[in-house]
């Protein structure tokens, strides 16, 4: 069964994580922002935003994992091609080599099985790779498929062309990894900053609960607190998008 990596479907673990998160967040928001758990109904739009954000994060993680595994596959292909094997035989060797690095449920093995099965029924390797590139939604995989197709059509030095392409794509992926490492500290700072508003409200409620009474159980207070909560969410979304590295 072919997988469309441009989409992500929640697993039962994802749903469990999501529901635990929104229940905990609903309790915190209800206590700190409204002093009423019944007012959590106003948080439904924010919980929908949490769902979309979590799904996007899972999709990006899926693409990053696939990109890393694809790079390992390309390097294994170059090793086999350099040893004198055909491109078709190289995929079988790549699967064997990758089994020493990744668990058996890694997504790259499903794609290698699809390619190996297609080659056995004489489907051109460039067509199989192109299909993989389109379904992955990852530019590097699609570019690799295009290079292989062009090399097969032109009858050029396939090994040299693929080796050069693999080196170029691998360097690009390494650069993205370095960028991710560089901003990891900033991402941690962003998470801390997003927790601070909740921490400040919690401190005020514990140390001087009466200080916030004017904002609870009245229309103006509810509106102000809702605007404040919306600002926290918008700031979080803005910071996340600024530091996001597209795959």
96-116 tens-digit pLDDT: 889 888 988 888 999 999 998
What is the tally of helices (H) and strands (E) in the chain?
8, 0
Q: Is residue 1, in this structure, part of any structural domain at all?
A: no
3 in any annotated domain: no
Supply the pLDDT for residue 156.
Answer: 64
6 is a domain residue: no
Give the model's pLDDT for residue 174. 80
Q: Is 36 helix (H, G, I), strand (E, B) or coil?
A: coil
Number of domains comprising the chain: 1
Residue 71 belongs to what domain range? 12-242
* Residue 229 contacts residue 237 (beta carbons within 8 Å): no
Please report whether residue 64 resides in a domain.
yes
Residue 121, domain member (yes or no): yes
More confident residue, 137 or 245: 137
pLDDT value, residue 155: 67
Average pLDDT over residues 201-216: 82
Q: How far apart, in Å, are the Cα atoms of 20 and each of 17, 24, 26, 27, 34? A: 5, 6, 10, 11, 20
Terminus-to-terminus CA distance in the chain, angstroms?
A: 24
- pLDDT at residue 8 is higher than 60: yes
On whether residue 113 sits in a domain, the answer given is yes
DSSP secondary structure letter of residue 42: G
Task: Report the pLDDT averaged over residues 65-91.
Answer: 85
Is residue 4 a part of any domain in this protein?
Answer: no
**Would residue 101 count as lying in a domain?**
yes
Please give the average per-residue pLDDT across 173-195, as a whole number: 80
What confidence tens digit (pLDDT) does each residue in 136-148 have?
888 888 888 888 8
């Amino acid at each position: 069964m072919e997988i469309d990596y441009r989409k992500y479907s929640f697993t039962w673990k994802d749903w469990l994580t999501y529901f635990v998160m929104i229940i905990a967040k609903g309790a915190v928001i209800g206590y700190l922002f409204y002093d009423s758990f019944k007012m959590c109904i106003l948080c439904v739009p924010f919980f929908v935003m949490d769902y979309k954000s979590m799904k996007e994060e899972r999709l990006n993680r899926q693409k990053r994992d696939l990109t890393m595994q694809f790079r390992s596959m390309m390097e294994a292909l170059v090793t086999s091609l350099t040893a004198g094997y055909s491109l078709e035989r190289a995929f079988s060797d790549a699967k064997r080599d990758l089994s020493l690095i990744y668990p058996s449920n890694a997504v790259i093995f499903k794609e290698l099985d699809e390619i190996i099965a297609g080659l056995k029924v004489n489907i051109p390797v460039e067509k199989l790779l192109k299909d993989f590139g389109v379904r992955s939604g990852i530019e590097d995989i699609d570019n690799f498929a295009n290079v292989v197709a062009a090399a097969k059509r032109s009858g050029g030095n396939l090994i040299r062309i693929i080796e050069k392409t693999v080196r170029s794509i691998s360097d690009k992926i390494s650069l993205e990894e370095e960028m991710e490492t560089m901003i990891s500290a900033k991402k941690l700072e962003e998470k801390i900053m997003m927790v601070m508003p909740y921490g400040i409200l919690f401190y005020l409620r514990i140390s001087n609960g009466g200080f916030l009474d004017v904002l609870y159980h009245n229309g103006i207070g509810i509106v102000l607190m809702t605007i404040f909560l919306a600002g926290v969410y918008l700031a979080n979304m803005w910071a996340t998008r600024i530091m996001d590295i597209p795959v």
